[in-house]
């Protein structure tokens, strides 16, 4: 899956640390007002630029990032990997999906941040972190890693996956379904998990192969 598992672990670690930093900045009483000030400024900006074409595109993106599209793609990828007997790739993608879903539920319940006011779409549950941002990153980045062969073409698809995740995150901010920091933390967390599990499993396989006795 990865040409350099160490580099993958390093990048994944940086992404996860970034998500943790955003989370801590919101949770700490000393820094929460500053975070909210930034989020409020972005909220006022998106309210000022609201228009029908952008709203229509954002609603469509919200649907694409929802469970009705996301879960069938995940299941199809897992079935394809099982049919091809790519067990390591299957395990990496399954673990990324499972841990991301568990973290979405746990973090929303623990942090319980209120949603922004005047949302343009119906929302449920707490705001932090953005489940759409996490799920989009895990699915888009994870699918490229487990399905595309290493090389220039994979990098092109990875760039597209990152762009899709960023646009999805911004669309949720535009719809006032999430604060900006909700989506930043979610995108970083999802991408970190999508990259981290393949890197970790590859590193463990290399280590096991290096320490195995010679026949």
Mean pLDDT of 155-163: 86
Please tell me the pTM assigned to this model: 0.89
For 140, what's the count of Cα atoms within 13 Å in the CB-facing half-sphere?
Answer: 28
- Of 11, 147, 19, the closest CA to residue 90 belongs to 147
Calculate what percentage of the chain has a pLDDT beyond 90: 62
Residue 214: inside a domain: no
pLDDT digits (tens, 9 = 90+) for 16-25: 999 999 999 9
pLDDT for the residue 213: 54
pLDDT for the residue 209: 65
In this structure, are residues 177 and 58 in contact, taking their beta carbons and an 8 Å threshold? no
How far, in Å, CA of 79 to CA of 52, rounded? 39
Calculate what percentage of the chain has a pLDDT beyond 70: 95
> How many structural domains is the chain composed of?
1
pLDDT at 212 over 60: no
User: From residue 162, how far is each of 96, 142, 156, 199, 210 by CA, in Å?
Assistant: 16, 11, 10, 18, 34
Residue 36: inside a domain: yes
Q: How many CB atoms lie within 10 A of CB 83?
A: 9
pLDDT digits (tens, 9 = 90+) for 69-91: 889 989 999 999 899 898 988 99
In this structure, are residues 2 and 203 in contact, taking their beta carbons and an 8 Å threshold? no
Residue 124: inside a domain: yes
Residue 209: inside a domain: no
Average pLDDT value over all residues in the chain = 89
Residue 212: inside a domain: no
Mean pLDDT of 95-121: 94
Residue 192: inside a domain: yes
Residue 213: inside a domain: no
Q: Give residue 114's domain range.
A: 5-204
Residue 17: inside a domain: yes
pLDDT digits (tens, 9 = 90+) for 112-158: 999 999 999 988 889 999 999 999 999 988 888 878 777 777 788 88
């Amino acid at each position: 899956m990865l040409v350099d598992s160490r580099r993958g672990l390093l990048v994944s670690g940086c992404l996860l640390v970034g998500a943790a930093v955003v989370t801590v900045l919101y949770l700490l009483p000393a820094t929460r007002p500053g975070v909210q000030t930034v989020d409020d400024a972005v909220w006022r900006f998106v309210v000022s630029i609201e228009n029908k074409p952008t709203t229509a595109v954002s609603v469509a993106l919200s649907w694409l990032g929802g469970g009705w599209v996301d879960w069938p793609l995940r299941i199809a990828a897992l079935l394809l990997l099982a049919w091809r007997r790519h067990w390591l790739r299957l395990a990496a993608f399954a673990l990324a999906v499972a841990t991301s879903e568990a973290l979405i539920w746990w973090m929303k319940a623990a942090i319980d941040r209120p949603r922004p006011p005047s949302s343009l779409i119906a929302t449920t549950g707490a705001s932090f972190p953005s489940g759409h941002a996490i799920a989009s990153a895990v699915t888009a980045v994870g699918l490229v890693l487990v399905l595309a062969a290493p090389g220039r073409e994979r990098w092109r698809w990875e760039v597209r996956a990152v762009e899709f995740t960023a646009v999805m995150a911004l669309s949720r901010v535009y719809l006032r379904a999430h604060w900006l920091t909700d989506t930043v933390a979610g995108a970083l967390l999802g991408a970190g998990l999508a990259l981290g599990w393949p890197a970790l499993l590859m590193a463990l396989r290399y280590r096991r192969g290096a320490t195995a006795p010679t026949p």
